[in-house]
Structure 1
Amino acid sequence: MALPLPEHVDVLVVGAGPVGALAALKLAEAGRQVALIEARPEGAPVRDARALALSWASRAALADAGVWRDDLGATAIDTVHVSQQGGWGRTVLSRDDLGLPHLGVVVDYPSLFATLAARLAEAALPIAWGTRVAAVDPLSAYARVTLQGDDGERVVTARLVVLAEGGELVDGLPGLTRRVHDYGQAALLAEVASELPHRGVAYERFSKRGPLALLPRGDGFMLVWTRTPEDARELRDGDPAELERQLAEAMGERLGAFRVAGSRALFPLTLKQASRRVARRVALIGNAAQTLHPVAAQGLNLGIRDALALAAALAGAADAGDAAALSAYERARALDSGAVVGFTHQLVRFFDGHGPLLSAARGLGMNLLDAAPALRRRFAGHLVFGVGGASLDGMV
């Protein structure tokens, strides 16, 4: 049973998913009085089809916070194979490039969420389950937060409000706006099995029908395929044989035949990016700061680095909402966030186009990256540790 929510706390975190939970745990570890708000009711089954691709650095951050467990059923990613259908050129990134045990892992969201909830309970952090934030009113010394739950409406205050979810609240904060770009696409998710084993290889394939990723998951894969909304709906609801045929066409013979082995789902794809990460008494991390296209599988990893950077920036501040500390957080995340958001957005445009000249340019870029070990290691390091990450600078 969750502890009751106090009327006032040092830090109120909105969202108890991986990013919000990590931020709460790190801030509590530093001695802050922390509480969380989560829209999902306590104990409600998590029916989320996503398999999360975590970099090795993100997995290490969760392990350091006491979240990661060996029984999560994670599948290791040792190699990332990038190629395009109907054109030359490819890049292969390996754990050996960085001297790491693995480049990353794939874990089911429901399993990770359950572990997060157990760790938060163990840490005795108050959580208001089944509660939504109706408004955030930043004042000079604290922020007033209006909550709505089954028991009605109430107001709590906090020295700092951390939005890990609830990006729609950004539009009501002083000095903040959101850039929203609708890609006009949907991500089709499907559990698939292949005739040949994956051997720890994740595939990024820029097919003629749209970019796709095959993430190793158990003995099979989680397919994430960017399609038009109409295509995605047809493949989700239609005969699985049609999805199997199109996937085999896109991937060639490298994995043999495919079989749809589980559920299928789709998500609309939109880029959302806040103009700033901080307002008075408010900090944005994770999905509240940026929501990315899944083509490079960087959204969650970027959010985890947000949480770590915020905890580090607040480490020496007597007041959790100290303006100088929040400005330091914003500066610390500017390079990594700007680079990853920009790279992901341009990647969608570059690899979603067609034509012989564009195909040749893509092939040349992939081959040049593959043939230059130092450049390939740095690129792999950016994906694992972020742009400008301290761990990257010490390893590459």
Structure 2
Amino acid sequence: MDSPEYDIAITGDGPVGCTLALLLAGKAPIPQRIALIGKHFLAPGLTAVTEATDPRTLAINHGSRVLLEHLQAWPDQAASIETVHVSQRGRLGRTLVRHTELNVPRLGSVVSYDRLLATLHAAVARCGIDVISASTVTTQCAGTVRIDLADRSLSSALLVQSDGARPKGVQRDYRQHAVLATVRASRPAQNWAYERFTAEGPLAVLPHPQAANLYGIVWCCSPLRAEHLRGLDDQTFATALHEQFGDRLGHFTCIGPRHVFPLALHAGPSLLNGRTVAIGNAAQTLHPVAGQGLNLGLRDAVQLAQSLAPWLQRSQDDPGPLLARFAQNRRPDRWLTAGITDFLPRIFATKNPLIEHACGLSLLALDLSATLRAPLARHLLRGLRS
């Protein structure tokens, strides 16, 4: 049987796929035997960022930022999060999580999706792997993996799906859509982020990387309400946002367009067969509460690269046991993170007064007790390490 063209092929050129490619390139004796296949690669020297303020921002926790900085793939604009304020609309109780109690320079950062992707693509272009632009990818597995592109086929010993394939397994429709917007606040609070739970769903207000008085909004609500909010004029939308959020940041002014995305949980196995692994959005898509989806995917990439290093360096011939161990080691972090992000938006949106009061008391207890608060804060900061 002919040897495969590549040792590892990665489908999906989003942040998780690019991060895995960079990590593997640093461990592989021949980086050219790693292929990254995607349809959104930017031409060298180009950036996807335009003059318009793009509402798509990403919350990157401290551990993920350290990783991306190490890979020289950290964008030139970022807003730091030093304090997170968690509250519930209409009920007593709130929790503050501060970076000082965890002994880190910041809890996380907010970056533009476009700038992060442009920085990662530039780093990938420098690392020596084979970059393949393709809009159509189908795969077949036998002794090796055959990958059929629109105009040709290629073969690889292993395949990693990082996005573009929906996980098959656990599914939940939250009956919520997320409204993304960018607003200017009249009284900005430097380096503060807010997670406010409402009867409709969580409302995140995040510092924006483009200016100190800008905030990225992720407003989760019913699909009908989301379409209504998208259709409002800017002033009416800002008023509705103020009613839900309160006076902490003063008055809001809308900047740029609004976008709406449906929200659902999809989670499946990491190991799809003996030669195919799923990470990132191909393994799990989560509710955006607490901003854990990308951070979890980056941890997938780190652990997979560590697991495959002995096989890439030819110190272990059979990748099967390494892949099985990877899937087993990732299971606790994946399911704990999915469980947290699944539980929070549902428990706070029951519209049951007793449960709402209990949630408020829980927030108060977390605020009063560092012992109770620390495990949750550490998990959101860096995940469950194994």
Answer yes or no: same fold by TM over 0.5. Answer: yes
Distance 2:221 2:381 in 1: 27
Deviates more, 1:316-325 or 1:235-244: 316-325
Partner of 2:176: 185
User: CA shift at 1:379, angstroms?
Assistant: 1.4
Partner of 1:52: 58
Determine if the alignment matches structure 1 residue 221 to structure 2 residue 219: no
User: CA shift at 1:356, angstroms?
Assistant: 1.8
Partner of 2:196: 205
Q: TM-score, normalised by structure 1?
A: 0.89
Partner of 1:122: 126
Partner of 1:306: 300
Identity of aligned residues (%): 38
Matches within 5 A, 1:18-33: 18-31=15-28, 33=33
Find the residue that maps to 2:310 and give its secondary structure: coil
Q: In structure 2, which of residues 270, 287, 290 is the aligned counterpart of residue 293 of structure 1?
A: 287
Find the residue that maps to 1:167 and give its secondary structure: coil
Distance 1:275 1:25 in 2: 24
User: CA shift at 1:200, angstroms?
Assistant: 0.6
How many equivalent residue pairs? 369
User: CA shift at 1:207, angstroms?
Assistant: 2.1
Determine if the alignment matches structure 1 residue 364 to structure 2 residue 361: yes
Deviates more, 1:219-228 or 1:30-39: 30-39
User: CA shift at 1:237, angstroms?
Assistant: 2.4
Distance 1:338 1:344 in 2: 10
Q: In structure 2, which of residues 224, 236, 241 is the aligned counterpart of residue 242 of structure 1?
A: 236
Q: In structure 2, which of residues 76, 79, 82 is the aligned counterpart of residue 75 of structure 1?
A: 79
User: CA shift at 1:88, angstroms?
Assistant: 0.5
Partner of 2:40: 40
Work out whether residues 189 and 225 of structure 1, in 8 Å CA contact, stay in contact via their aligned partners in 2.
Answer: yes
Partner of 1:232: 226
Determine if the alignment matches structure 1 residue 324 to structure 2 residue 321: yes
The 3 A distance-change label for structure 1 pair 320 and 39 is farther
Partner of 1:173: none
Distance 1:312 1:104 in 2: 24
Work out whether residues 177 and 221 of structure 2, in 8 Å CA contact, stay in contact via their aligned partners in 1.
Answer: yes
Deviations 1:141-176 (A, max 9, x none): x2111112xxx3x211111111101224x6xxxxxx
Gapped runs of 5+ residues in structure 2? none
Find the residue that maps to 1:378 and give its secondary structure: helix
Distance 2:286 2:317 in 1: 28
Q: TM-score, normalised by structure 2?
A: 0.91
The 3 A distance-change label for structure 1 pair 123 and 275 is closer
Distance 1:191 1:225 in 2: 11
Gapped runs of 5+ residues in structure 1? 1-5, 171-176, 391-396
Aligned-partner residue type, residue 282 of structure 2: A
RMSD: 1.9
Partner of 2:346: 349
Determine if the alignment matches structure 1 residue 113 to structure 2 residue 126: no
Partner of 2:268: 274
Matches within 5 A, 1:145-160: 145-148=147-150, 152=151, 154-160=152-158
